[in-house]
Structure 1
Amino acid sequence: MENSDIVYGLHAVTESLKAGTVNKLYIDDKIKGKNLEQIKALASEKKVNISWTSKAELAKLSEDGVHQGFLARVAPFPYVEIDQLIDQLKDKENATLIILDELTDPHNLGAIARTADATGVDGIIIPKHRAVGVTPTAVKASTGAFEHLPVARVTNLSQTLEALKSAGFWVFGTDMAGTSYNKWNTGGKIALIIGNEGKGISQGLKKQVDEMVSIPMVGHVQSLNASVAAAVLMYEIFRNKG
């Protein structure tokens, strides 16, 4: 079981320090170089104590994650309430939200967050059950994007879709039989659902979608990794919104 109060890796630790969420910092006692000096300066600025730690202990704390010599204990991830997120976007005409339906791979979650931050997405919505949360692995894969991106964790995705529709969002899903993404009308407020890595979007949610969007493929493998598919579609929204 991963400790939800630990982040590791240079970028994730740097962004957590900048955000002021680090309670304790652990650094490889043999590490040298400019990255070390930058982290030390940030820690000093934020008044965070450094614990000089062996590489073996860092490996144990990160559960053999790629820590790059830097690990931090942080405050628990601050999920936002879905009502609060919707309210924050009520006056934004081109708001974009990404909804992840039972995504289970923390690397995918982190990669999606990284692209979401890069393309100006306004937030991510994930379910509380049968899905990955913002774990240390996801934070590492996001290279610090979670420090800049609201994430709402909800009990019922179906009810959330109804609330989004009431707030003026168009809800889109991803499916092989949908409208080709290059013919997709991305105007207005968009909520895009990315399905589970294996089974895609659940049947119940499919019934609530306004339109399905597809990514044309000519290869032998007729599906893309969830984070890659999400990236293609997020960049299409970003391109169209200028």
Structure 2
Amino acid sequence: MREPATPDSSGYLPRRGAEQKVCGLNAARGAFAARPDELRKVYLNESRIGTLREILAFCVSKRLGYRVVDDAELERITGSSHHEGVCLVMLPPAQLSLSDLLARLPAQQPVRLLWLDGVGNPHNLGAVLRSAAHFGVSAVLLPPDSELGLSAAAARIAEGGAEYVPLVYADGEVDGDSEAAQTQALAQLAAAGFKTLATLPKGAPSIYAAELPERALFVFGAEGDGMQRAMIDRCDARISIPGSGKVESLNIATAVAVVLAEHWRQHAVK
């Protein structure tokens, strides 16, 4: 078996790497429940044998390898001290194109999509995926030139949510031209009935005063740098989350949760 792909110092895995590491108890359980046939190997602490007996029984039945290791070895394998006693090595989820995603979305139900513009922190991505799964987001879209992928850290922090919210790269059919690909992707979404809303820290109407569209693409910028001006200009509308003003803004995961909660309140899927 190939050696597992190793995250770099930022916690990233290659965007379309050969294998994926999933560490963290809830993340590992969620990945196994969703994609058992993609499991390739298991590393775990002795203390997790009873908790993960179903996964170990599956390994025995399929003749897959598993190893009981100590904390130091598991930290070396995962590149993190936050492994929670388990690491699964799996084939990565199937990569959806934007066209594939749009073809499988329900036509008669509210749909929520997220677009992360310039977000690069895997911990933020994991927290966003957890909120996105809770509120039934159909996908998280990333710009064509994004190198962000589902790292072990992101999957762990998502607490299993990463299995229900695919990452979709808005590559389109335009090779080597990120701006053109992004424009094409937004045009595809508009043709599919989506309204694009830029979520800004200030200077935009309150989300609580807005009539949110049923098919909504919410765009969030990176903390610190914010959203690119060109992306703001491409959006159909702008919204903000009102507050006391004592801090500049919410972190992205909290902002995502607030916005999605309001969309759910207005357009709950029955």
Q: TM-score, normalised by structure 1?
A: 0.91
Instruction: Give the deviation of 1:3 after TM superposition.
Output: 4.4
Instruction: Give the deviation of 1:228 after TM superposition.
Output: 0.7
Q: 1:229 to 1:10 in 2, by over 3 A?
A: same
Letter in 1 for 2:41: K
- Helix, strand or coil: the match of 1:31? helix
1:14 aligns with 2:15: no
Number of aligned residue pairs: 241
Q: Could you list the per-position Cα deviations for residues 39-73 of structure 1 after superposition, in whole angstroms to 9, with x for gaps in the alignment?
A: 43454566643211222111001112411110011
Structure-1 residue corresponding to 2:44: 27
Q: 1:71 to 1:122 in 2, by over 3 A?
A: same
1:97 aligns with 2:123: no
- Aligned with residue 118 of structure 1, among 115, 134, 153: 134
The answer for unaligned runs of 5 or more in structure 1 is none
Instruction: Give the deviation of 1:152 after TM superposition.
Output: 0.6
Letter in 1 for 2:191: S
Q: Which moved more, 1:17-26 or 1:87-96?
A: 87-96
Q: 1:3 to 1:173 in 2, by over 3 A?
A: closer
| Residue pairs, 1:1-242, within 5 angstroms | 1=8, 2-3=12-13, 5-18=20-33, 19-20=35-36, 21-28=38-45, 30-32=46-48, 34-41=50-57, 43-44=59-60, 48-89=64-105, 91-155=107-171, 156-175=181-200, 176-242=202-268
The answer for unaligned runs of 5 or more in structure 2 is 1-7, 15-19, 172-180
Letter in 2 for 1:148: Y
Q: Is the 8 A contact 1:101 1:195 kept in 2?
A: yes
Instruction: Give the deviation of 1:76 after TM superposition.
Output: 2.3
Q: 1:173 to 1:3 in 2, by over 3 A?
A: closer
Structure-1 residue corresponding to 2:3: none
Q: Is the 8 A contact 2:22 2:152 kept in 1?
A: yes
- Helix, strand or coil: the match of 1:178? coil
Letter in 2 for 1:173: A
Q: Which moved more, 1:19-28 or 1:122-131?
A: 122-131
RMSD of equivalent CA atoms: 2.0
Once residues 46 and 108 of structure 1 are traced to their aligned partners in structure 2, the CA distance between those partners, rounded to angstroms, is 35
- Helix, strand or coil: the match of 1:120? coil
Instruction: Give the deviation of 1:129 after TM superposition.
Output: 2.4
Once residues 107 and 168 of structure 1 are traced to their aligned partners in structure 2, the CA distance between those partners, rounded to angstroms, is 31
Q: Could you list the per-position Cα deviations for residues 125-150 of structure 1 after superposition, in whole angstroms to 9, with x for gaps in the alignment?
A: 01242452211111111111121222
Letter in 2 for 1:182: Y
Q: Is the 8 A contact 2:115 2:217 kept in 1?
A: yes
Letter in 2 for 1:206: I
Q: 1:227 to 1:157 in 2, by over 3 A?
A: farther
Letter in 2 for 1:25: V
Once residues 170 and 7 of structure 1 are traced to their aligned partners in structure 2, the CA distance between those partners, rounded to angstroms, is 34
Once residues 161 and 128 of structure 1 are traced to their aligned partners in structure 2, the CA distance between those partners, rounded to angstroms, is 12
Q: TM-score, normalised by structure 2?
A: 0.82
Once residues 30 and 77 of structure 2 are traced to their aligned partners in structure 1, the CA distance between those partners, rounded to angstroms, is 19
Instruction: Give the deviation of 1:195 after TM superposition.
Output: 0.8
Once residues 225 and 255 of structure 2 are traced to their aligned partners in structure 1, the CA distance between those partners, rounded to angstroms, is 14
Q: Could you list the per-position Cα deviations for residues 153-189 of structure 1 after superposition, in whole angstroms to 9, with x for gaps in the alignment?
A: 1233332112111111111011111110101212321
Instruction: Give the deviation of 1:113 after TM superposition.
Output: 0.8
